[in-house]
Structure 1
Amino acid sequence: MNLNLIKLQIVELLHKHRKITTVAEELGLKQPTVTYHLKNLEQQLGEKLFESRMDKMILTESGKAFLHYAVKINALAAEAERVVKEFNNAGRGTLKIGASYVPATYILPQILGQFGEQHPGTTISLSVKPSPVIKEMLVNHEIDLGILSTESFYVPTLHSQSLCEDELVLVFAPTHEFAAQTRLSPSEIASAHFILHDMESSTRQLTNKWFERSGVTPRAHILLDSLEAIKQSLMGGRHVSFISRLAVEDEVARGKLMMRTIPDYNFQRHIFYSYNRDRHYSPLIGLFIDLIRTIRI
């Protein structure tokens, strides 16, 4: 069976754009050529991968299963081409990094600047996504290296190592009623006006676990998907939230926010670096990891 790369690219792009005309434009092909490759692939597989609905091409269940592998193969092919080209460009290359919000905002800026000075021929791209998304991007070979804040995890294809602990703390304004208390109970915290993080974030997942294990639920809460928006809201004095210690150290030092240890908090979250064991471990990845391990966090 001849599953050439153009057919796999068509499947991935057609799922992305939903229209054959758009796929043809992106690949520099004529529309009948794209249609021919798709029909030929479906004949080879003996399964229909797409069906037309309201002028849009939608994956069938068989198509969804095939797409999973097409995405991985396309990513590996792109990586192989990039790695080979880097051998012809001494001192140059591209490093694709994915990071969750806390390390992307409070750790990586210093490291990216320093790495750029040491290796001026290198192009670095940074994708900022929630930790679960970064893991998926690593598995699918979409990035070279992930820097993520999360609980310990095990994925067979990923190598991961902790850089430092990323502790969650209870945060509020100096004008909040909690400011006068040194010890707080779970029920007192649950009675406060709580700000919750987006459901995809590891902070929200740990917050939910703490509430569940403590046997309490927040009495009133609002939902925000931006850490900076949460911190600004906390400064208003009415709300509290669980936030990474790394993310609020500056505001606490300047007296704009206060933090307390979360009672009965038995979870461990760390900043990890992670890469796919099956991905080419280029010198650039090694150099970046060497640098990030020397930074005092």
Structure 2
Amino acid sequence: MRILRIDETRAGQRIDNFLLRECKGVPKSHIYKAIRGGQVRVNKGRISSDYRLQDGDMVRIPPLRLPEPEQPRHVPAAAFPVVFEDEHLLVIDKPAGVAVHGGSGVSFGVIEQLRAARPEEPFLELAHRLDRDTSGLLIIAKRRAALVGLHDMFREIRARKFYWALVQGDWVNDRQHIRFPLLRWLTESGERRVKVDPAGKAAHTIITMQRRFGRFSLVQAELKTGRTHQIRVHLAHSGFPIVGDDKYGDDAIRDQFARQGFKRMFLHSGRLEFDHPVTGQPLVLEAALPAACQSLLNRLEK
């Protein structure tokens, strides 16, 4: 049995989510049963699973039965290029090909590697997501207050997020609004996909022309909503799939560029504009195009 004191870094978190992270490996059913049965106590009193922890709370965690032991999972520590950091936030430049978190066949991702590299940090949580094959700016909260503020900011669309994409085709308009509703679905193999569907959720992307390369165009995409695969599906449905996109792109084009050494999707989160969720300081953060993307543009230019 353990008794833990809650500090400000954990205040505001639901007791069930706190226990799931604190008691790694314990099945969810065991944790909820312990809460319902009164074995988990806060300040010596019973609580429900949606109770939000307060600074100074004393949490009693009873002995919980673990499943059969497995080989411990090794998460290699990794450092990523830091674009901005203070006591509340960490913003990194994520490389393509690295998932932001473990799951769906991925043993670990950026967040697990950061936690392994920074054991002194009591709180590191993703503030938003990037697809595995998308590179660029990724925000990690170092305090719960920052995480809550960032979630509110993204939900209320008070942040501006800009991506750069190389698409197949000669983009026509200098600036174009795309508003196709998006619906998530699963393939027969269980793979997550998104499609344009009237029954889907509203989605809004602003595309701005950057450079033309004949059969290809470099565009800037500003997200006004944050749907899964939004930029990829909006561009593909418009007839301009992203180069290297293995879900919604052109397989022949992807293979062509792969033979030339470009083996990723050309989608990069290059600019973020938002007010710091704690201090209110206006932030404009940028991450340059990765070398592989810039090299490809140079070849197309020639």
TM over 0.5: no
Higher helix share: 1
Q: Based on CA coordinates, which of the two structures has the bigger radius of gyration?
A: 1
Relative to the length of structure 2, the TM-score reads: 0.28
**Higher RCO, 1 vs 2 (CA within 8 Å, ≥6 residues apart):** 1
Higher strand share: 2
Relative to the length of structure 1, the TM-score reads: 0.29
